[in-house]
Chains A and B, each alone.
Chain A
Amino acid sequence: MSTAPEPVAGARTGLAGLLVMPATLFVAIGLIGPIAILFRYSLNQFIPGQFMVDGLTIENYVKFFTDGYYLNVLARTVRVAVFCTVVCLIMGFPLAYVLARTQSRFKNLLIISVVLPLFVGNAVRAAGWMTAFGSRGALNASLMGMGLIDQPLEIMYTENAVLIGIIAVNLPFMVLTLQSVIEGIPRNVEEAAFSLGAGPAAMFWRVLWPLALPGILAGTILTFILAMNAYATPVLLGGPKFQMMGPLVYGQFAQQNNWPFGGAISFILMTATIVLTVAAHLIVQRRYR
């Protein structure tokens, strides 16, 4: 049954190489180059007033890992990212399943409505939240007006606001990734499990979950990376006191002008993201292969 995939058309003529060149060049110039330079900068010294002094030191990394404030920011970022990813998976799976299995002629409309939250940019959403949930927003004004509360509820500029904001942005990515994978699992396979005596829970854990695993991995990795690197949501909904890694990096570059330390934080963020992603991948693979 299994056959080797056909070689890509044009592979022999070198045309394939030519066609992948633009994307490769784009990534190399736009991503790898700057990151390499950033890494070099992260080993430089920062002397206030002198901006950046060439050197080869790990003091920026040491500074990060010895200061409770920065470690706290990292821990908070990981916690927020893990929480948002898990919630996205739990809420996204049923939705993705329904989207994948529906026979409705409105299916495309449903899919568009899943993507709809992405049409509302972060800035617009934050502005909307302020008018609705701010301390002088519509919700608090009406609750206080009715005499139900005397202090405004704190919704804006809390961790909860950031969590909800990130989940709202990331959920569509999770749902779309899962939906495409679930669509590839024949309905017959589920029915076969049912006919063999598996109830819905047994069918889910023994058949659907393992078969959807590639999509679950892709979806969680995608949402995890997005959450780890979230910038706009923590800034706009978390306020100045709620620090996450993304805004911290930017602050070092744009406000403190401390490029070496900003570079170091960037690398710590990137490494943490990659390590956690790979670790999750390996654990899941060992568990289900």
Chain B
Amino acid sequence: MARLSIEHLRKTYGDLTVVDDVTIDIADGEFLVLLGPSGCGKTTTLRMVAGFIAPSAGAITIGERGVTTLPPWKRNCGLVFQSYALFPHMTVAENVAFGLEMRKISPADRAPRVAEALRLVQLTGFDERYPRQLSGGQQQRVALARALAMEPDVLLLDEPLSNLDAKLRQEVRVEIRDLQRKLGLTTIMVTHDQEEALTMADRLVVMEKGKVRQIGTQRELYEKPADRFVAGFIGRSAFLDGDITAPGRFRTKGGVEIGCAAATGTGAATLALRPERIAVGGDADGLHNRFEARVEHASYLGAILDIDVSLSGQDSARQDRMLLQIPNKAGVAEPKPGETITIGWAEDAGLVYPREA
């Protein structure tokens, strides 16, 4: 177990920059999740930590050990792949013992550590099975046991749950999290699944186009997204494009004036609102920003209703369209397109991001 630090890490292929100046510090025993859309550089970052890709610039330190130029077999990183990557010609026990064998640990000393690793993932008694005789979830747990048995300094998880079905994913998610806490393992997980990221992480790193957009806890990312991308990527946001006309004043493209505490400076900007902060109907009474909005589209999603409204009523230009989510209450029919509803939000509800005009 050790802390892990990634400093100014960069990877370029010709003119293409895949990972751009990534700096992350991971505390001893911390569970960090790299989250982002596909192609954002999260997997490349993980593979540079594992040693499979040589960085173009930057440094990686595990504990006190600079590992930037070390080959993967000298890094002591436990790795779990999306596709499990078990050795098909070896039994479960041989798979788990492989890392110990490579460290020249005698067969007699290996046995108890293999048994302990299999016990941790609740696969005691599966020693003599071959990977092909196991279910997907069991194979993934063998892969985890194999990585844990060699007592790695850091555990790297590359989309470890993507190949499992939804129900199993929930279970394994909790198992991995519990195990990681119990063993105090410094862990980096890569995923594109937001729910997975939010439930498992101590801290999250949101990446896009090779850059770190924001590092923070779940609450920090949701309540104070650093930019428009994070606001749209973590949870959902309603966005309104417009301009800041004066401190605290925001005017949409459709000309609607909105009071917004976060509006500072001047110029083109985007106002982001969390849908659940927008009140509808009677709940909007007394709020500073209170508008009559025209319903453009409504979707029934079970527990909630998604409603697309036009704030200024100028639907043809697709301006001032925003998304509402209202709880599905008994006896309330969903609004029909063309109807007018009252919506409102507090002055401090929105966040404002500069926008390229």
Task: For B139, give the chain A residue with the smallest CB separation.
Answer: A1
Chain A residues in 8 Å Cβ range of B78: 195
Expressed in whole angstroms, the minimum distance between the Cβ of A259 and any Cβ of chain B is: 49
Chain B residues in 8 Å Cβ range of A210: 89
- Bound form: Cα–Cα A1–B73 in Å: 31
Also in contact, A2 and B85, with CB within 8 A (given A195-B73, A198-B98): no
Chain B residues in 8 Å Cβ range of A207: 87
Expressed in whole angstroms, the minimum distance between the Cβ of B335 and any Cβ of chain A is: 49
Contact A189 B73 (CB under 8 A): no
- Bound form: Cα–Cα A197–B74 in Å: 6
Q: Which of A2, A188, A198, A288 contacts B73 (CB 8 A)?
A: A198
A154 contacts B by Cβ under 8 Å: no
Also in contact, A188 and B85, with CB within 8 A (given A1-B135, A196-B150): yes
Task: For B78, give the chain A residue with the smallest CB separation.
Answer: A195
Chain A residues in 8 Å Cβ range of B76: 197
Cβ proximity bits A175-198 to B, threshold 8 Å, 1 near / 0 not? 000000000001011011111111
Chain A residues in 8 Å Cβ range of B57: none
Contact B87 A193 (CB under 8 A): yes
Contact B102 A202 (CB under 8 A): yes
- Bound form: Cα–Cα A137–B311 in Å: 91
Q: Which of A2, A191, A206 contacts B98 (CB 8 A)?
A: A206
A199 contacts B by Cβ under 8 Å: yes
- Bound form: Cα–Cα A42–B147 in Å: 63
Chain B residues in 8 Å Cβ range of A203: 73
Range of interface residues on A (Cβ < 8 Å): 20 to 34
For window 52-84 of chain B, which residues contact chain A by CB distance below 8 Å?
52, 71-79, 81, 83
A211 contacts B by Cβ under 8 Å: yes
Contact B102 A188 (CB under 8 A): no
Task: For B81, give the chain A residue with the smallest CB separation.
Answer: A188
B50 contacts A by Cβ under 8 Å: yes
Contact B85 A186 (CB under 8 A): yes
Chain A residues in 8 Å Cβ range of B143: 192
Q: Which of B50, B77, B98, B136 contacts A193 (CB 8 A)?
A: B98
Chain B residues in 8 Å Cβ range of A192: 79, 81, 85-87, 143, 146
For window 99-137 of chain B, which residues contact chain A by CB distance below 8 Å?
99, 102-103, 132-136
Also in contact, A211 and B89, with CB within 8 A (given A192-B79, A197-B103, A206-B98): yes
- Bound form: Cα–Cα A203–B89 in Å: 13
Expressed in whole angstroms, the minimum distance between the Cβ of A215 and any Cβ of chain B is: 14
- Bound form: Cα–Cα A196–B89 in Å: 16
Contact A188 B83 (CB under 8 A): yes
B331 contacts A by Cβ under 8 Å: no
Q: Which of B75, B102, B132 contacts A1 (CB 8 A)?
A: B132
Q: Return 14 A-B CB contacts under 8 Å, by A number.
A: A1-B133, A1-B134, A186-B83, A189-B86, A192-B86, A194-B71, A195-B51, A196-B146, A197-B74, A197-B102, A198-B98, A202-B102, A203-B73, A211-B87
5 cross-chain pairs, A with B, having the tightest CB-CB distances, nearest first: A197-B102, A188-B85, A196-B99, A195-B79, A192-B85
Residues of chain B touching chain A, judged by Cβ–Cβ distance below 8 Å, are 50-52, 71-79, 81, 83, 85-89, 98-99, 102-103, 132-136, 143, 146-147, 150, 156
Residues of chain A touching chain B, judged by Cβ–Cβ distance below 8 Å, are 1-2, 186, 188-189, 191-199, 202-203, 206-207, 210-211, 288
